[in-house]
Amino acid sequence: MKSTLQHKVSSRKARLCPGRAPSLSGVRDRTDPEWSPARIARTASGESRRKLSCETLYLARVPCASPAGRAACPPWSVHMKVGFITLGCDKNTVDSERYLAQLADRGAEYTDDLADAEVIVINTCGFIDAAKKESLDAIVEAGRMKDDGRCQAVVAVGCMVQRHKEELAEALPEVDLFLGSSEMDRLLPELEARGLIEDQPVAHPGVRLFTGDVRHIRYLKVSEGCDHGCAFCAIPLMRGKHRSFALDEVVREAQLLEAQGAREVNLVAQDLAHYGRDRRDGFTLPELLESLVRETGIPWLRMLYLYSSGITPRLLEVVARESRILPYLDMPMQHASDSVLARMRRPERQRTIRDRVRTIRDVVPDIAIRTTCIVGFPGESDEDFQQLMGFLEEIQFERVGAFTYSPQEGTRAAEMPDDVPESVKRERLERLMELQRQVTAERYERFVGRTARAMVDRIVDGEAQARTVWQADDVDGVTLLDGAEALAPGTIVDAVIEGIEDDVDFRATLLRVVDRAVTTVAPRVRALPVVGASIGSFGR
């Protein structure tokens, strides 16, 4: 019987690649000459023949690393140009930068132009259905580029592959290599065995290879995996149990990011508050923050994603004391109905969340708190939803992200009846986000007329876009900053908040420059050295 994922793959192909008709079984039938790997693959614009040589990794494994094999291989295999598509969370961004640094160490050349890439790597996300759909779209599109352009090989890695590797391999034969999150230590050996990278390092080993467009904003993953076991979440199935990285390792990586031009470092994990609890050295999140303040000169340190149950008085004391640790917490609660929270297997209840928020605001009065909610979880009644809406109106979080529930295979919630109709889920989501738009505008009004610390991010059409300490990159809007058009990205300023635009953005005027950014930084493709780092060292 065809799996749900295979149904989705074939439907994605049918929509994105109308010239590629799925077989009656919903996936390519390898016995059907129409869809044999050696057969011409149809595309929307016509037909293009696949090359069956060492260019096609899983079909013809010519040992190109040997002198004889290397002579038989095309020139691109010696100095491979690799493009990366990174989907999902910021933790995936960190992973991709690490993988790219290792590839660059073996002679690969990174390109941000996928049309110029000889190998395309898709780092997938498998958190919710929308993320899986986006990952499938990217894989199918990369397959089209392999048919029509310079691309010779497609590699799919990451969370979705970890969970659905066999199904994906059956449904997507155009993908040459699948590696789950726990298998990433095989990436170099697999590519090396196929002659796609050098078998000996050709550059200094690197920890991270910057690939974005805003160099001064970086992410620092401090742990891997999760022990919480929430009923709706498949992350423990994809990433395993919680493992904290050694404090000195994390600090060393932060120093390297600083050397690459980082001015804001965002700490990320499945739950930052659990950092260090699995280790015997006694270092937890407060000690890590203090070490980062002491051992680096990074001006802004921001915490993203930590459970309220792990926010301790000691942590809040450090945040209140250290000005370089921003007054900002991303604290997902998921719901406010105790019955829904219990079914979700969340560690908090409405009262404990309320009490924790009050404590946080008492200790750090100007802090911005962001949270996340799920609507339409199995059994969510109208009364449950009204409790959630009432709680959001009462607590007045600065920002809220929300999504509709979708069952994830292998989770406890997937065994529950998905009894909330999709139309009801969408309607509840719209109502929640409309309420939060009003709440955000009201919360932001308290800043109007005040002087705020901000960082310039970019100049767009002659206008400076910045963010205050209360705005995380990419999710919390921007600050439109008058008078800062000549400042380099990464410059920290004081600005007067003049008003709110579109309920989510600040309008501000430059008051003074506090810390001017250096405009010359290390070249984008340079990978800085790190002791003892490898692809597998931070993996499962």
**Residue percentage of the chain with pLDDT more than 90:** 50
Q: How many whole angstroms separate alpha carbon 470 and alpha carbon 444?
A: 10
Residue whose pair of structure tokens reads 């929270």 in the numeric block: 341
Lowest mean pLDDT among 101-110, 359-368, 448-457, 505-514: 101-110
pTM metric for this prediction:
0.74
Q: Which amino acid is at 350?
A: Q
Distance set, CA 405 to CA 231, 237, 371 (Å): 11, 18, 16
Element (DSSP H or E) covering residue 507: strand 505-515
Cβ atoms of residues 122 and 155 within 8 Å: yes
In a shared domain, residues 327 and 423: yes
Q: How many whole angstroms separate alpha carbon 369 and alpha carbon 329?
A: 5
In a shared domain, residues 436 and 465: no
Domain membership flag for residue 534: no
Residues 6+ apart with CB under 8 A from 535: 98, 99, 102, 184, 185, 187, 188
Expressed in angstroms, the distance from the first to the final Cα of the chain is 31
Q: Which residue has the higher pLDDT, 118 or 26?
A: 118
Residues 6+ apart with CB under 8 A from 421: none
- Please report which residue ranges of 296-369 form alpha helices under DSSP H: 313-321, 338-344, 350-363
In a shared domain, residues 158 and 72: yes
pLDDT in tens, 10-45: 444 433 433 332 222 222 232 333 322 222 222 223
Domain membership flag for residue 201: no
Lowest mean pLDDT among 226-235, 258-267, 316-325: 226-235
Check residue 364 and give its pLDDT: 97
In a shared domain, residues 408 and 506: no
User: What token pair was written down for 197?
Assistant: 């990278």
Residues 6+ apart with CB under 8 A from 502: none
Check residue 203 and give its pLDDT: 55
Domain membership flag for residue 120: yes
Q: How many whole angstroms separate alpha carbon 263 and alpha carbon 22?
A: 49
Q: Name the 3-class secondary structure at 103.
A: helix
Residue 497's pLDDT band, with cuts at 50, 70 and 90, is very high
Of 195, 160, 200, residue with least CA distance to 180: 160
Domain membership flag for residue 261: yes
Of 88, 112, 80, 86, residue with least CA distance to 98: 86
Residues 6+ apart with CB under 8 A from 471: 368, 477, 478, 479, 506
Cβ atoms of residues 369 and 331 within 8 Å: yes
Residue 291's pLDDT band, with cuts at 50, 70 and 90, is very high
Residue 190's pLDDT band, with cuts at 50, 70 and 90, is confident
Of 85, 135, 136, residue with least CA distance to 115: 85
Domain membership flag for residue 244: yes
Check residue 510 and give its pLDDT: 98
Residues 6+ apart with CB under 8 A from 389: 431, 432, 435
Check residue 528 and give its pLDDT: 36
Q: Name the 3-class secondary structure at 491.
A: coil
Owning domain of residue 105: 4-193
User: What token pair was written down for 275?
Assistant: 């950092």
Q: Name the 3-class secondary structure at 399.
A: strand
In a shared domain, residues 323 and 291: yes
In a shared domain, residues 439 and 460: no
Q: Which residues pair with 451 in a beta bridge?
A: 496
In a shared domain, residues 345 and 462: no
Lowest mean pLDDT among 22-31, 281-290, 294-303, 311-320: 22-31
Check residue 361 and give its pLDDT: 98
Q: How many whole angstroms separate alpha carbon 491 and alpha carbon 519?
A: 10
In a shared domain, residues 409 and 261: yes
Check residue 4 and give its pLDDT: 53
Q: Which of 396, 421, 445 is the last residue of a domain?
A: 445
Domain membership flag for residue 536: no
Q: How many whole angstroms separate alpha carbon 328 and alpha carbon 2?
A: 46
Q: What is the 3-state secondary structure (H, E, C) of 127-159?
A: CCHHHHHHHHHHHHHHHHHHHHCCCCEEEEEEH
Angle at 149 between CA 143 and CA 155, to 5 degrees: 35
Angle at 401 between CA 127 and CA 342, to 5 degrees: 70
Query: Would the pLDDT of 526 be above 80?
Result: no
In a shared domain, residues 59 and 131: yes
Looking at mean pLDDT, say which of 129-133, 169-173, 473-477 comes out highest: 473-477
CATH number of the domain where residue 381 is located: 3.80.30.20
In a shared domain, residues 505 and 393: no
pLDDT in tens, 322-380: 999 999 999 999 999 999 999 999 999 999 999 999 999 999 999 999 999 999 999 99
Distance set, CA 60 to CA 11, 38, 194 (Å): 29, 11, 9
Distance set, CA 520 to CA 147, 239, 257 (Å): 40, 37, 15
Give me the long-range contacts of 353-356 (CB less than 8 A, separation at least 24). 353/308, 353/391, 353/395, 354/391, 354/394, 354/395, 356/308, 356/309, 356/311
User: What token pair was written down for 353?
Assistant: 């969340």
In a shared domain, residues 146 and 30: yes
Check residue 13 and give its pLDDT: 46
Q: Which of 415, 445, 475 is the last residue of a domain?
A: 445
Residue 306's pLDDT band, with cuts at 50, 70 and 90, is very high
CATH number of the domain where residue 485 is located: 2.40.50.140
Q: Name the 3-class secondary structure at 46.
A: strand
* Number of domains composing the chain: 3
In a shared domain, residues 119 and 239: no
Domain membership flag for residue 229: yes
CATH number of the domain where residue 88 is located: 3.40.50.12160
Domain membership flag for residue 223: yes
**Residue percentage of the chain with pLDDT more than 70:** 78
Looking at mean pLDDT, say which of 46-50, 211-215, 408-412 comes out highest: 408-412
